[in-house]
Structure 1
Amino acid sequence: MSAPVSAGTAQAWAVLDGDASLLARVSYGGPSGGLPARLPVRELARASVAVCSLAAAELASVRGRRPVARVRVDDEAVAAAFLSDRLVRLDGQAWTAFAPLSRFWRAADGWVRTHANYPHHRTALLAALGVPQDTGDQAVDAVDAVDAVAEAIAGRAARDVEETVFAAGGLAVAVRTPQQWRASAQGASAARQPLLTTARIGDAPPLKCSGSGLPCAGLRVLDLTRVLAGPVATRTLALLGADVLRIDAPHLPEMQEAHNDTGAGKRSTALDLRDVADRRIFFELLDRADVVVTGYRPGALERFGLTPGELAERRPGLVSAQLSAWGRYGPWRERRGFDSLVQAACGIAVSEGSAEAPGALPAQALDHGTGYLLAAGVLRALTEQHREGGARLVELALTQTAHWLVHDLVHDLVHDLGNTAGGADVDALDPGRRLAETDSPMGRLRYALPPVSYEGGPSDWARPPGLLGTDTPTWQDG
């Protein structure tokens, strides 16, 4: 007899406005190692994957006119998926996800966390702190920059560094306790928000049932997202049969290594929306799209006519899914952000370590959890479209997922025993069961298998990742 549904799964399914009776179709199993933490990270991971799997089974039921399949959440598969960026290998080589200047720094009155994986963010950080730019010798520059940044931050207040770097276009946040975050204007705004929001924003006739086996078969998804939550969501939609076309701006740097992890099942192209010809191609793609997923900071795409209202007016019945780091509210609404920065600002770093020595979650769990919740929101929106029609909007933010983790979730004693030690136990995972290998255009790729699963559903992606930005900007059916 299976254990009852986890509290986190029930919470997330309720926010998605799902039928509570369907929760009886969810069960759990498998070894539970891999995500030990003080906070209930395993419960976040399990719940986000569970509701995504259930939403997929529900949509498959609606489109195929058959009963909703049972969902089995395997904890080991979930842990491997949440650690996928650490487990991915290309020709046996691991990917180093964080650059030397992406780390914690001791400030005069606490700690600062920076993010400088991209060259333009690194340049902005160094300029803001008055650190000389690179000489051209990568080995020397890496050591000198770390020492110089450490010295520059050590003599300043953490929040002064935060504001100075932000003003220069860089990424840095002061490490806060959960109480300090909730007392801030942005934290207070985030605390008033639900885990995610969904809304009907336009009229359109109901979608027709396809009878297809995969819930997203025949659907077209425009993927305008970057590391990591958005690509996890669209990778999941590709697993479920969608034609996912990722679009990147050619002038913004992106990492092929990240795409090796999150690009499975998709195609990838480059379009510059500032260019008239490229913008015309984009809107031709949009006119046939069913879903648009955006993951840029609020305001970045709106100037191109990509607000949810404008999208729904141009393409009636479209599902728009929007993701941001800090949310579309509060004084930080237009700031850039990443999982590691949100952990530091929202109090997670202190919770996992201390005010004297901040720590981190065993995985980029805010990114991964938000990604599966985003996919679940899209799937539920598509289900409601089949039933009632209409254009739909789904909105999520990493800070809202962080609030869920810190304040609403608890360690589930039925499903989550012993989840208290810090650090990711990657070696506890069984590669033979949760990892797979395939040939790709980049070389031999090892990757984590998808955790989203239901009876009769797909067990792997139909295609490996490709070279970023090299596919033709067309839909697969012409």
Structure 2
Amino acid sequence: MNEPSNHGPAAALLDRVWADLGIDVRFADDDTPPRHAVPLPSRLATGELAWASVRAACLASGIGTLPDPDRVAVAYRSDRALTVEGASPDVWSPYSGFFRASDGWIRTHGNYPHHATRLHAGLDLAPGADADDVREAILPLSAADAVDRITAERGLAVRVQQENPEHDATLRATPLLHVERIDLPSRGGRHDAGTRDDRAPLAGVRVLDLTRVIAGPVCTRTLALLGADVLRIDPPHLAEPEWQHLDTGHGKRSALLDARTDRFEELLASAHVVVLGYRPESLDRLGLSAAALLERHPGLLVAQLSAWGIEEPSRAGFDSLVQAESGISMIETLDGDRPGVLPAQALDHSAGYLLATAVISLLRRRRREGGGWVVRTSLRRVAAELLGMPRSSRPEAGREPALATHTSAFEVAGQTVITAASVLPGLEFTAPHRWGSDQPRW
């Protein structure tokens, strides 16, 4: 694992972030390296990506103290640190993983029950089929045929592919954080959101959180940590695994509400920031695209995250699927045959911290300049950034940080919950609420 340097890939990534956000790079001493490399060993520069992403959020928040690289590693592997009543949750469904096809590999995702049902339907399996049944159904098929059958039923699967350097270079020629200012007649009231309290720089900022899984919730958890009033809204018909919300729900309230109700529109009308994490096509259908939101509510700051980017609005995806299709999995293979994985869901976590960095910075710009703002990134765009960073021929064995040093304990609905601690120096998480346990109001 390469030691970071003052002019290494982490510093270069930070320079890119500041350029995308229109920030003078002289505002912070952003070339200071960590005291040792972030222990996320891999062929790709996963530790450098993690360090730069967390450091960006710190600097944008006015936190000059360096993060602890061990704590960064634990936070990026937060699912391994999480316990509920002393037990570690089973975070992966047997329907999520690599499956061999006749001519290669595919990667599936079936953690949500509806995705597992669709996976079974695409493979003509009974709803109760187990992972061995899935494996046997895929093996005779070509990888392309297996993916086509699953996705035709709206299941989630991708072919495991080799990297495409030309495509990644094209993606890297676009902003990592794509910022757009949209000026429409404003009814006022949003531009002055926030306080000048250094201990809680986002106090007074109302954030409507329309995200789930990891990346979006990491973003909004970071905003809550900095003092924002974050209200997460989920559709009543789509349950969230308890462990997943406890892992990233710190400091937020959580409510269930249909997005087509008058109450939802009232929440939007008084929000300062909206964070979107659903498929662009789904958002369009509900009238929740960035353009539609700003048309109805000028002066909003809209932060949008997706798996594949707005260029592929109908595709759903997760970190593991993006790793597989982008070529990361074959780079990280251990034996040259079976695909491998990054040591953490680093695309998710980095996208979350980078999007939070953008929100913090653009709130500051909005106070100065007015206007409505949109910032977008995607897991695929973050993957392209990682694939363009220096890599090693093989990862060195990584040291394992002591979990007890980098975790926090909470009481949530009578249960003891232990999670990874905050990576922002000097700030501590408050307890997550139970999913869906709050009223939909500010």
Normalising by structure 1, report the TM-score.
0.85
Match 1:441 to one of 404, 413, 434: 413
431 and 209 in structure 1: CA distance in 2 versus 1, 3 angstrom threshold: closer
Is 1:333 equivalent to 2:327 in the alignment?
A: no
Is 1:177 equivalent to 2:162 in the alignment?
A: yes
For residues 178-327 of structure 1, what are the structure 2 equivalents within 5 Å? 178-179=163-164, 190=171, 193-203=174-184, 204=186, 206-207=191-192, 210-213=195-198, 214-274=200-260, 279-327=261-309
- The answer to whether the Cα contact below 8 Å between 1:33 and 1:428 also exists between their aligned partners in 2 is no
Structure 2 residue matching 1:374: 3-state secondary structure = helix
Match 1:121 to one of 72, 96, 115: 115
What residue is the counterpart of 2:96 in the other structure? 102
- The answer to whether the Cα contact below 8 Å between 1:13 and 1:20 also exists between their aligned partners in 2 is yes
Match 2:428 to one of 443, 460, 469: 460
What residue is the counterpart of 2:12 in the other structure? 7
Is 1:421 equivalent to 2:395 in the alignment?
A: yes
Distance 1:375 1:443 in 2: 29
2:122 alignment partner AA: A
165 and 25 in structure 1: CA distance in 2 versus 1, 3 angstrom threshold: closer
Deviation at 1:211, TM superposition (A): 2.7
Distance 2:35 2:404 in 1: 14
132 and 394 in structure 1: CA distance in 2 versus 1, 3 angstrom threshold: same
- The answer to whether the Cα contact below 8 Å between 1:36 and 1:419 also exists between their aligned partners in 2 is no
Q: Give CA deviations for 1:365-409 in whole Å, capped at 9, x if unaligned.
A: 0000101011111111101111111110010110000000012x2
Normalising by structure 2, report the TM-score.
0.92
What residue is the counterpart of 1:361 in the other structure? 342
Is 1:151 equivalent to 2:136 in the alignment?
A: yes
Distance 1:156 1:240 in 2: 50
What residue is the counterpart of 1:384 in the other structure? 365
- The answer to whether the Cα contact below 8 Å between 1:235 and 1:263 also exists between their aligned partners in 2 is yes
2:395 alignment partner AA: A
Is 1:44 equivalent to 2:49 in the alignment?
A: yes
Q: Give CA deviations for 1:304-340 in whole Å, capped at 9, x if unaligned.
A: 32222222233222100111101111xx431110000
What residue is the counterpart of 2:145 in the other structure? 160
What residue is the counterpart of 2:356 in the other structure? 375
1:445 alignment partner AA: V
Structure 1 residue matching 2:280: 3-state secondary structure = coil
Deviation at 1:52, TM superposition (A): 1.1
Structure 1 residue matching 2:96: 3-state secondary structure = coil
2:435 alignment partner AA: L
- The answer to whether the Cα contact below 8 Å between 1:27 and 1:73 also exists between their aligned partners in 2 is no
Moved more, 76-85 or 398-407: 76-85
Structure 2: state its 5+ residue gaps.
none
Distance 1:46 1:165 in 2: 36
State the number of aligned residues: 430
- The answer to whether the Cα contact below 8 Å between 1:207 and 1:389 also exists between their aligned partners in 2 is no
Deviation at 1:460, TM superposition (A): 0.6
1:375 alignment partner AA: A
Structure 1 residue matching 2:15: 3-state secondary structure = helix
For residues 53-72 of structure 1, what are the structure 2 equivalents within 5 Å? 53-57=58-62, 70-72=64-66
1:294 alignment partner AA: L
Deviation at 1:264, TM superposition (A): 0.4
Moved over 4 A (4+): 187-192, 203-206
302 and 20 in structure 1: CA distance in 2 versus 1, 3 angstrom threshold: same
121 and 93 in structure 1: CA distance in 2 versus 1, 3 angstrom threshold: same
Structure 1: state its 5+ residue gaps.
58-68, 135-140, 412-417
- The answer to whether the Cα contact below 8 Å between 2:193 and 2:204 also exists between their aligned partners in 1 is no
182 and 227 in structure 1: CA distance in 2 versus 1, 3 angstrom threshold: farther
Q: Give CA deviations for 1:209-231 in whole Å, capped at 9, x if unaligned.
A: 73323111010000000101000
Distance 1:385 1:270 in 2: 30
- The answer to whether the Cα contact below 8 Å between 2:172 and 2:381 also exists between their aligned partners in 1 is yes
What residue is the counterpart of 2:26 in the other structure? 21
Distance 1:322 1:253 in 2: 22
Match 2:85 to one of 70, 80, 91: 91
272 and 419 in structure 1: CA distance in 2 versus 1, 3 angstrom threshold: farther
Structure 1 residue matching 2:267: 3-state secondary structure = helix
Distance 1:201 1:127 in 2: 43
Structure 2 residue matching 1:302: 3-state secondary structure = helix
